[in-house]
Each structure stands twice: as C-alpha cells, then as structure tokens.
Structure 1
Amino acid sequence: MRTEDLFREDATLLDCDATVIAQGEGGVLLDRTVCYPLGGGQAGDTGWLVAGERRWRVTDTRKSKEHPEAIVHLIEGELPALGTAVRVEVDAQRRQAHRRFHTATHLLCALLPYPVDGCSITEAYARLDFHTDEPFDKDAIQAGLTRLVAEAHPVGHRWITEEELDANPGLVRSMSVQPPRGLGRVRVLEIDGVDLQPCGGTHVSNTVEIGAVLITKIEKKSAKTRRVVLGFAEPAAGRS
C-alpha cells in the first residue's frame, strides 16, 4: 500500500484529487496526497477532505506505522468510507509558514557550520539546536540571515543515489535525523550558492519568499548545545 506524495516535487500544490484506500491509525490512507506528514522536525499539514457537500477536517498528517510507504490523514469524527473519491485541501496559511521557516533553518545551517542535534518547524516558530560550545552573536547571525533572504537565492531540490550520499557524508548536517534508506535515492535541498543537504520537507522557491524572519532567542541548552529560535516579524494572520 502506497501514497503518492505530490508535495515532494511541488510544495506549492495545495489540493489534489484522491481516493480512500484504507481506514486505520485514527484516520484514512489515500492513494495520493498534497499533505506533508510529520517528519524531519517539520510538523504535519492540516486541511480538509471534501466529497460533494461533505467536509472532513484533517487534524494532522502522519507516516503510516503499518504501511511504510503510505500516509495517514487523521480525521475528526466519522471517517470517509473506503473507496470514497475526495478532494484533498491543505491549510495554505500553515503550509506557507512551514515553507518559510524550514528554508530559513537551512540558511542558519549555512551561517553556523556546526552539526545539528535537534530541530522543530511549526506554524508559529522554528528552532535549531547546534552541537557546539561556541558562543553565538545574535546580532551577527540576524544580519547574516537578513542578507541571505534579501539576496534572493533560488531554492530547488534534486535526487541523488545513496551511493552518492555515502561518498559525500558531509552533506548530512543532522545528528538526530538521518535521510531515509532503502529507496535507492535521497532528496537533497539546494539553496543556490548557500546550502546543500538531504531534506524531504517543503520549502519556498527563492529565499526572498522567506520574508522578515527574526531570531527571537538564543539559548545555551547544555555544555555542548546552542539553540536558535526563529519567529516571523509580522503578527500571525487571523483565521476565518
């Protein structure tokens, strides 16, 4: 059982047609989806499944525990029946926040050349934990982040083989999350002239789309861990 993950190739897709192929694990599995499942430090997408006049709220999206290549859409209330044709709609505001924050964390990796031992990307904030005992200069990091956003670097992805990744172990920056193995290929995120590393998350297509992102906090979490927390400069938009 497998879910075609359309978001891997195009993070701007906000809807698609799909069919319910199974029920279980608190929701439904679809044959295809635009919803990103929780993983790699990034929160799962929310949204809706629509069939005619019926609308089901998708409260979260997760990787299936029973079917490694399938994605579970957690649903409020009664589940749509097996075989139901639905329209999958992503919460666009939440998706865009994830895209902006996730790409911004890659800029931080370019500015701070230390291994990453923790990551969280949500709609409200993002954080990266760096494995180092070096002190961080908040103003200098903020200036670098603002510069890289304004320089409008193109952002894209490509696929490399697992052998290519093994030949370039320095591409992997994370100590806590390793690229998935066994598929024969690995997705890498490339910010032109700035950063290249394995990543399966959703991103903007150019750094200028990140907009105004601020370093809200830098913490010493342990003798060997420095945490950087990001927030948006503008207030959160209201929901209808």
Structure 2
Amino acid sequence: MSVLLFRQDAYRTEANAVVIAHTPEGGVVLDQSLFYPTGGGQPGDSGRLMWQGRALPIATAVKTEGDQIALVASEPQALPPIGTTLQQVIDWPRRHRFMRMHTALHLLSVVIPLPVSGGAISEGRGRLDFDMPEAPTDRDMLEDYLNQLVDRDLPVTEDWITDDMLRANPGLVKTMSVAPPMGSGRVRLVRIGQGTDQVDLQPCGGTHVARTGEIGRLRLGKFEKKGRQNRRVYLHLDG
C-alpha cells in the first residue's frame, strides 16, 4: 500500500517517489502519494510527474486494487518505467480550494444539524444533501452563522479511533449514504475547535485547512428540492 503523504501533511506540494506499478488502464502507482484520490465527495488531485527531463501531466488520482492510488495522465503518452525515481508536484491552488471547501462543508453540517444524504466538492462550490422536508426560511441567519464560525479561526485537527469504537458511537456519523472510511482497523476523525470551543467531530478521509479562518468568506447558494425528504444546499467560496 502506498504511503499517504497527503494524510501526513495536506500542505505539502512536492515530493520524490518511486514508480512501483502501472495499472491496465494506464495509471501510475507510486510508493508514496501526494495526490489525494477521488473519494468522499472530493475530487482527485491534479498536477505533474517529472523525471529525467520529462514531465507527465496528471489529470486526477483514483483508488485502485489493494487500496493503491493510481495517477491518471491528462493525455496518452509514455509512462515513467517501473523503478523510476521521480518528483511529484500537485496543483496546489486547486487542492487548497478543495481543502477550504471541504472544511466549509463540515461547518455547513454544523449550521444545519440534520442527517446528510450526500455531498460533492468543486473548486469554488460545494453542496450537501440533507434529510430536510422543508427548506430553511432563515437563509441570512444561517449564512451569518457560517461566517461567524469561519471568523472564530477555530483549529482543525485529527484524531484516530478504532473501527469498533466508531461502531459503538454511531452518532459520530453524519452521512446517511456514504460509509466512513473503515476497514484498516482505525478511522480518522476530523475535529473543528477544541475543548468547550469544539463545534464538530466526524469521520472523514479528506484534506482540510488547519484553521477555519483560512476558508474565507462563504455564501449560501440555492436550496434545491431533490425528493420528498431531501434538500440540496449549495455553498460558495467568495474569493
């Protein structure tokens, strides 16, 4: 299994690695990956691989067999041979926007404390689907609350618990349709705030900013009806 460098430090943008495999679809598997693979509503990272004066643009990263991460080239071209030592560089501005939005969506689940049935992240916009029969009428108040949480500049940290501990505490899971990343024996929890200032704690495998103040100004978008019990709420990064 590849070492998950993005999990060790979400702010790292460059690292060396060794090619350990090619997938049948033409993906490149490295012994350690800066590239976050598509999952949990967050798109895979893009960037490039560089070796011996050559460069391979990477469009995205995906999970493959054995929990490995395959890097998918933007266009067909020769892949670095197995055993090659190379440099991997992620598209940092794009990754950082994903990080800001992912943390912002956790805050949205605080402001609207209802079960979440789905979600997705893009560079400037994200959305959560809530088990919500009627759309809220207090949009301005919700948006103000969101930005208050941002302005409090709360720390965003992680903890780890065992799979069994999570099963014993099902209230930690907010998502109804997406299972937490379990199976390795332990689960990562993302915590926003500390002590009496803690506002959120939930399982998550994605990348996040270090403090809520880094998110910047947030704007609520459309509230869409997606079923008798379901409302889709869009959230935008303003800047």
TM-score normalised to structure 1 length: 0.93
For structure 1, which runs of at least 5 residues remain unmatched after alignment?
235-240
One-letter code aligned to 1:68:
G
| Correspondence for 1:237 | none
Counterparts in 2 of 1:110-189, with a 5 A limit? 110-136=110-136, 137-189=138-190
Q: Is the 8 A contact 2:101 2:124 kept in 1?
A: no
- d(CA) in 2 for partners of 1:31, 1:232: 34
One-letter code aligned to 1:153:
L
Moved more, 178-187 or 152-161: 178-187
- d(CA) in 1 for partners of 2:164, 2:103: 26
Q: Is the 8 A contact 2:17 2:32 kept in 1?
A: yes
Counterparts in 2 of 1:1-240, with a 5 A limit? 2-24=1-23, 25-64=25-64, 67-75=65-73, 76=75, 77-136=77-136, 137-192=138-193, 193-234=198-239
Q: Is the 8 A contact 2:98 2:122 kept in 1?
A: yes
Q: Is the 8 A contact 1:161 1:184 kept in 2?
A: yes
Query: How far does residue 233 in structure 1 lie from its aligned partner after superposition?
Result: 1.3
- d(CA) in 1 for partners of 2:17, 2:141: 47
Q: Percent identity?
A: 45
Query: How far does residue 121 in structure 1 lie from its aligned partner after superposition?
Result: 0.7
- d(CA) in 1 for partners of 2:170, 2:208: 23
- d(CA) in 2 for partners of 1:9, 1:197: 18
Cα RMSD for the two superposed structures: 1.1
Q: Is the 8 A contact 2:181 2:203 kept in 1?
A: no
Query: How far does residue 26 in structure 1 lie from its aligned partner after superposition?
Result: 2.7
- d(CA) in 1 for partners of 2:52, 2:141: 53
One-letter code aligned to 1:220:
K
Q: Is the 8 A contact 2:217 2:237 kept in 1?
A: yes
Partner deviation per Cα, 1:2-29 (whole Å, 9 max, x = no partner): 1111111211111111011011133111
For structure 2, which runs of at least 5 residues remain unmatched after alignment?
none
- d(CA) in 1 for partners of 2:187, 2:66: 16
TM-score normalised to structure 2 length: 0.94
- d(CA) in 1 for partners of 2:61, 2:67: 14
One-letter code aligned to 1:204:
V
- d(CA) in 1 for partners of 2:66, 2:233: 32
Q: Is the 8 A contact 1:138 1:218 kept in 2?
A: no
Partner deviation per Cα, 1:39-95 (whole Å, 9 max, x = no partner): 01111000000113111001110001xx22210000132211111111110100110
Q: Is the 8 A contact 1:15 1:88 kept in 2?
A: yes
Q: Is the 8 A contact 2:35 2:90 kept in 1?
A: yes
Aligned residues: 231
